[in-house]
Amino acid sequence: MEKDQNAASGQNIQELDSQLKDLLKKAKKIGQEIEETNKSLEEEMDGLSKKVDMSINNIQQICSDLDQAEKEAGDELDKIALEQAEDLAGK
């Protein structure tokens, strides 16, 4: 009887060991999938970050160009106003 219990106990241990090994394989596979997903997401985020940085630079350049155009337009208006004032003063 004791031999039967020991045999059954040994078999239970082997079954549990086998189940644990299967679970370990699954856990390792899931861990690897998570690492691959993280790497892929990091690459995507890096790409998006670069695009955002380029967009910000473009916006800053557009703002700078607009500021310059506004300054030039103001200077031109001042010049025209001065010329008109001189013309009126000369008449």
Nearest to 74 by CA among 66, 86, 64: 66
What would the pLDDT profile of 7-63 be if each residue is shown by its tens digit?
567 788 999 999 999 999 999 999 999 999 999 999 999 999 999 999 999 999 999
Place of tokens 């691959």: 36
pLDDT attached to residue 4: 56
As a whole number of angstroms, the distance between CA 84 and CA 80 comes to 6
Instruction: Determine the Cα–Cα distance for residues 32 and 38; give it in Å rounded to an integer.
Output: 10
